[in-house]
Each structure stands twice: as C-alpha cells, then as structure tokens.
Amino acid sequence: MRQNIVEKILTAHLKEGDFVKGSEIGIRIDQTLTQDATGTMAYLQFEAMGLKEIKTDLSVSYVDHNTVQVGFENADDHRYLRTVAARYGVVFSRPGNGICHQVHLERFGKPGTTLLGSDSHTPTGGGIGQIAIGAGGLDVAVAMGGGNFYTVCPKVYQVNLTGELKPWVTAKDVVLKMLETLTTKGNVGVMLEYGGPGVRTLSVPQRATIANMGAEMGVTCSIFPSDSVTKKFLKAQDREADWIELKADEGAEYDRVIDIDLSSLEPLAAAPHSPGNIKQVSELAGMPVDQVCIGSCTNSSFRDMMTVAAILKGRTVIPGLTLAIAPGSRQVLQMLARNGALADMIGAGARIMESACGFCIGNHFSPKSGGVSLRTSNRNFEARSGTKDAQVYLVSPEVAALAAVNGKFTDPRKAAMDYPEVKEPSEFLADDTMFVKPTAALKKTEVFRGPNIGEPPRNGKMPEALGGEVMIKVGDKITTDHIMPAGARLKYRSNVPKYAEFVFEHVDSTFPERCLRSKSHNIIVAGESYGQGSSREHAAMCPMYLGVKAVIAKSFERIHAANLVNFGIAPLTFKDPADYDRIEKGDRLSCRNWREDYLAGKPIFVTNERTGDRIECGCGCSDRQRAILAAGGLLNHTTSGNKGK
C-alpha cells in the first residue's frame, strides 16, 4: 500500500485500535517533553499513579516558561523538577538552557519517531520529521510510564510547496498564509504533511517555524519529510546518526491538497487578537510601533537571530520604542556571543532577555496601555501579553527588526537595505553541559517538595444525575488564556486551590467565588472552538476544583477536550448550534440519566428548567473516554487497576 509520511509513522507505532480515519487509535510514544509550567503537575501525577520509572526512549524536563518571577515558588518548582527527573530517569534541562521546542529540535528530535509534549507547540518537532503532538500533562505522564497515547486516526492534508521564497519573505509568512487558508478553527483531527519541490529550499529551523504554528490552526501536528537538508542539519548538530530518510510513497493519497507557491508570498502579519487575523504588512506600513519582542519557540533560531543582528548592525533602536530579544537556546545565544552578533544587537540598544519563553507568555515585558507591540511569537490573544488593551501583531523577525529601527511597521521590500542572506552554519555549538542526564546514582535522589508543591487534585465519580447552574456563558474562540491566565499567575501552577482563584480572571473575575459558593453542579456554556491555544491542563483541573461538571459548547479544540475528560468534566456539544441561544447565564440545567446515558453513549438531553426546553447534546467521546469520565478522571481511572490506559 502506498503510504504518506503520517501513515508510515503512525502505523509503525500503532498499539491499539484499527487504522481507520476518525476512529480512536493508541500509539506508542518514543520521546516525551515537559516544561516547568505544565511539568510539575505532570510529574506529580506520574508519582500519584505509582509509576516507578520512565519507559520511553527519552524523556526531557525543560525549565523555560517560568524562570524569573518574584517569590520562592519558581525556585521550589525547579528544585522539585530537578529531583523528580533524577529519581525517575528523566533528562533535566536546566533553566537558561533554552526554550523546550528549540532545544529539543537542536539536540534530541529524531526523524520517524513520535514525541508527546505537555505543551501545545510540541509539533515544532515536525520540522525534523517527527510526529510531535501536544497534550495535557496527565497524558504525557501516562506516556512516560509506557502507556499509549490516544488520538483520532487523522485526516491528512498535503501542503504542496513549489517555488522559492523571495528576499524578505520568510517561513513565518508561509505559516501565516496557512492560517489565512485554514483559519484557527475547525481543523480538529487533521495532520498536515508538507511536501513538493519547495520543501528542499527550506532549512530545518524554517520548517520548524511552520510546524510550530500548526498549533494555531488546531491541527494535531504538522510534519516535513526527512531529506538531505535534515541530514545536513543533524550533522551540523553532531547527530548525523539520528538521521533516516522519510518520504511519502509515490502516489500516496491525501484527504486534501493545499498548494502554496512560495515565490508568490509576501510579508504578512497576524493582527490583534487572533493568529488567524491575517493582514499584509504593506497595508500596515507606517503604523507607529511602541514595542518589539523577538524570540519565542517560533522564531528564535540561529538564522533568525543572525538576520536580526544584521538588520540592527550600526543602527539604533528608535527612542520611545523598546526592543527585547530572547535567543531561543543557550546554543544560539553562545554562538551569537562568540561571533559578535550579540554585540551588534546590544550596540543597537536591544534589551537581551534570557533564553526562555518570557515575553511570549506574558511573564514580563508587557506593553504600555494600548501599546502596539510587534512580536515574532505565535499567539496574540487578548491580554496574553499582560496588558489587556495592547495591540499585538505577529510578524517575522525581519519585519520586527525593521520596525525597531524605523519606529513603524515597514514593508521590508521597501527597506533601504539589501536582504541579509544568512546561511545555516555547517557546525552548531553542541554543548550539552546544561542537561543533567540520568545515572544509576541519581535514581537515589530524594524528591524535594517545597511549600509550593501541592497534591494533584482528584475529582469524585461522575454523578448519577446532573443538576446545576450555568455559571458563565462565553462566546466563540475562548482560549485557555481566557480560562486560566498564565503570565503573572503562572507561579501558582503547582498550587491548584490558589491558581483556581484566577479562572476566567479577565472574562468574569467573580466566577471562582460564585462556583465555590454554589451548592449544586457548575456548568459552562460556550460557542465555537472552546479551549483554543495552550495545552495547560489547569484550564480543566482548576474548573474541576471549582465544581464544574460539564462544558456545553458548539465545538471544542482537541487538547482541551481531552483535558476536560482527563479531569472528569464532560465536554458536550450542541446537536443544533442554535440551541446555544436557548441558554442564559444563571439558568439551571438538569439531566436525570446523566451517568447512565453517558456510559451508554446515548445522546444527552439537558432540560433548561427556566424554559422547559429539552436540549440535545452529543458527547463525542470514545468508550475509553466514557470510562474515564465515569471514574471522575484519568487519575482515578488509572489508579483503579487500569494502568497505562
């Protein structure tokens, strides 16, 4: 049978289920990654499941998200993560070593393997030919223990690339074009496979930029072939032995083909407040800019940084504008320091941030009130930057650097300079000294639990009947940043009762208190694409802690829907989306045969007690998920004799 790349890797990893589009399959996971903000809970849950050591080929714990806040919490979390990694055989990437996705691509990503990460941008690994998927921490904990990862046998879309990018047009513009085509909703259950003659014109980091922002389209992952370009990259990383060739069979089939002629693209930007709100940079040219932030897991490779340095060299950042640069990894930062490019950045007045997520997660560097901020990252959701009325535009490093020296949006094709052609290096600085690799001696490490480390919360069993109040009714495209803000609140990730105080902070800050006061079940009603964005399972775990039993929405994003099930919250979809208008905040909803109907996979009829309307909902869950919901979540389910499921 002629297979595409996705089919080749998935069938080689298939452990459970039939390989039939749309049905649930269980796959073996070769590598996992966690980051600190989702990692503490992932390892606490790993421990709570009674697992003794990791069973993957490689598991890495990165500290990159929450590195510089005030207070003891970060330091406590980092110490827990270091000691728990040592104890169970996980590689620990120390703070300062870089952003998980960039570092993993450089040092560990292997073509043809599967990678599961507790971060939605794990698909960055698709740039090197991995099936790399983002998931909640609990799913990653199960995979670390050797359990399968369950996903829908996907539809595969081929993105057929032809031509070559023109000067000043970048990988970011390719993925922004894809976002314009596929939008940020409705792509659940899809994997993207890039192919065509244009692929060989793109370096591995450029491919990684494109794969990274597949997360914003809601696809499960994106993947590139592994070819001579991949081999060269791995050789330059001193990892040539990790290379295998990976290509689709001649005549392989796809569910849809999207053609992109690289030479027809132009510089693009995602305008506030969605990565899918695509504009041409030429239409925005002249708009004054207050702040520029360059970095994040999307655009912080060596080549990106060298291009920025070349644009900044001999120029000065305009007064009144602030430029922040965060190289994506210690490898990149060291190389810039050694070849002098860092001096060019500093000379231009850039403020150098550590190699971490930083500004991207709103951890620092919030723009001024109403400020226009140009960022090379992947998300510009309202308030994510830490300033609710800031106007964040997502652009390429080239457009960002030019704005920093011109003070305004600039069409780079009209810039008064030639395009700085930066070649990929033939040798990267392969310095692994900031990884703590597992040893037999380290397995005796005592796990440190400071006061910021709480017990992972558990839910009760699914109730027989549902009866409760609609505590909030929200619209379309509610992101996990809306549900569970990160930024300044990130430091409470290991302390669920405290973090739960901030659920829906920027939407309705009375939500947590009202939920805690209520004597019945709490229900959330939402529009399309509920739970876009981050993989943070806290967006399910904290509502669970507040007594939420069901979310009724027009549609859900993949990772969030799985997280809701993992924490025993039923994700229900309106059979008729117009029924959304038949429920108001404060309405009481009930379903007498809740548990029984759910377990039987029947449609669920919810009665609105105010109007008497019976509203039909579907649960869209597999049998496995229904059993998890009945147990009140995956932790209960696995610790009641169903390990690894």
Q: Which residues contact ligand MIC by CB under 6 A?
A: 37-38, 65, 119-121, 134, 361, 486, 533-536
482 classed as catalytic: no
Sequence-ordered list of residues with C-beta below 8 angstroms from that of 604, at least 6 positions apart, any chain: 572, 591, 594, 597, 598, 616, 617, 618, 619
Q: How far is the CB of 269 from ligand MIC (least distance, A)?
A: 19
Q: Which does 535 bind (CB under 5 to 8 A by kind): ligand SF4, ligand MIC, none?
A: ligand MIC
Smallest gap from residue 426 Cβ to ligand MIC (A) = 32
Min CB(214)–ligand SF4 separation in Å: 13
Which of 4, 385 has the CB closer to ligand MIC?
385
Select from ligand SF4, ligand MIC, none the partner in contact with residue 89, using the beta carbon and a kind-dependent cut-off of 5 to 8 Å: none
Residue 99 interaction partner, one of ligand MIC, ligand SF4, none, beta carbon < 5-8 Å per kind: ligand SF4
> How far apart (Å, rounded) are the C-alpha atoms in residues 334 and 327?
9
**Closest to ligand MIC by CB, 67 or 535:** 535
Distance of alpha carbon 508 from alpha carbon 597, whole angstroms: 32
Q: 261: how many CB neighbours lie within 10 A of its CB?
A: 13
Catalytic residue among 30, 36, 76, 119: 119
- Of ligand SF4, ligand MIC, none, which one sits near residue 128, judging by CB under 5 to 8 A according to partner kind? none
Name the residue nearer to ligand SF4 (CB basis): 67 or 452: 67
Q: CB of residue 627 vs ligand MIC: minimum separation in angstroms?
A: 26
Quote the tokens at residue 268: 């693009």
Q: Of the two residues 300 and 452, which places its CB atom closer to ligand SF4 in the complex?
A: 300
Sequence-ordered list of residues with C-beta below 8 angstroms from that of 278, at least 6 positions apart, any chain: 176, 177, 179, 180, 268, 269, 270, 271
User: What is the amino acid identity at position 291?
Assistant: Q
Exactly one of 64, 344, 411, 579 is catalytic; name it: 64
- Which residues in this chain contact ligand SF4 in the complex, by CB under 6 A? 65, 99, 119, 121, 296-297, 357, 360-361, 377-378
Q: Which does 284 bind (CB under 5 to 8 A by kind): ligand SF4, ligand MIC, none?
A: none
Burial class (CB in 10 A: 0-12, 13-18, 19+), 244: middle
Q: How far is the CB of 509 from ligand SF4 (least distance, A)?
A: 23
CB of 363 to ligand SF4, least distance (A): 8
- Cα separation, 458 vs 632, in Å, equals 8
- Shortest distance (Å) from residue 381 CB to ligand SF4: 11
Among the listed residues 13, 379, 560, 595, the single catalytic one is: 379
Tokens, residue 232: 């060269």
Among the listed residues 13, 65, 303, 482, the single catalytic one is 65
**What tokens appear for 141 in the block?**
């904990």
- With CB under 5 to 8 Å by kind, the binding choice for 377 among ligand MIC, ligand SF4, none is ligand SF4
Task: Find where tokens 């019945």 sit.
Answer: 520
C-alpha closest to that of 95 among 358, 449, 301: 358
Q: Write down the residue that tokens 């399968």 correspond to.
A: 148
Residues 6+ apart with CB under 8 A from 84: 43, 46, 47, 61, 90, 447
The catalytic residue among 13, 82, 536, 637 is 536
The minimum distance between CB 229 and ligand MIC, in angstroms, equals 27
Contact 61, 38 (CB under 8 A): no
Q: Which is nearer to ligand MIC, 17 or 358 (CB)?
A: 358
Distance CA 33, CA 134 (A): 9
Judge whether 119 counts as a catalytic residue: yes
Distance of closest approach, residue 35 Cβ to ligand SF4, in angstroms: 7
Q: Per residue in 9-44, is it b (16+ CB within 10 Å) or e — as a string?
A: bbeebbeebeeeeeebbbbbbbbbbbbbbbbbbbbb
Could you say which DSSP state residue 290 is in?
S
Whether residue 560 has a cis bond before it, omega within 30° of 0: no
The DSSP call for residue 445 is P
> Of ligand MIC, ligand SF4, none, which one sits near residue 296, judging by CB under 5 to 8 A according to partner kind?
ligand SF4
Separation of alpha carbons 542 and 257, rounded Å: 40
How many whole angstroms from its chain centre is CA 79?
24
536 binds, among ligand MIC, ligand SF4, none (CB under 5 to 8 A by kind): ligand MIC
CB 563 within 8 A of CB 136: yes
Instruction: Give the helix ranges, DSSP H, for 371-460.
Output: 397-406
Nearer to ligand SF4, 384 or 477 (CB): 384
CA 245 to chain centre: 27
Q: Which does 37 bind (CB under 5 to 8 A by kind): ligand MIC, ligand SF4, none?
A: ligand MIC
Among 61, 118, 274, 534, the active-site one is 534
CB closer to ligand SF4, 299 vs 573 = 299
Distances in whole angstroms, Cα of residue 454 to Cα of each of 40, 45, 77, 220, 431: 10, 11, 11, 31, 35
Cβ atoms of residues 552 and 526 within 8 Å: yes
Whether 536 sits among the annotated catalytic residues: the reply is yes
Nearer to ligand MIC by Cβ, of 291 and 534: the residue is: 534
Q: Is 378 or 608 the residue whose CB approaches ligand SF4 more closely?
A: 378
Q: Quick check: is 87 catalytic?
A: no
Active-site residue set: 64-65, 119, 379, 534, 536
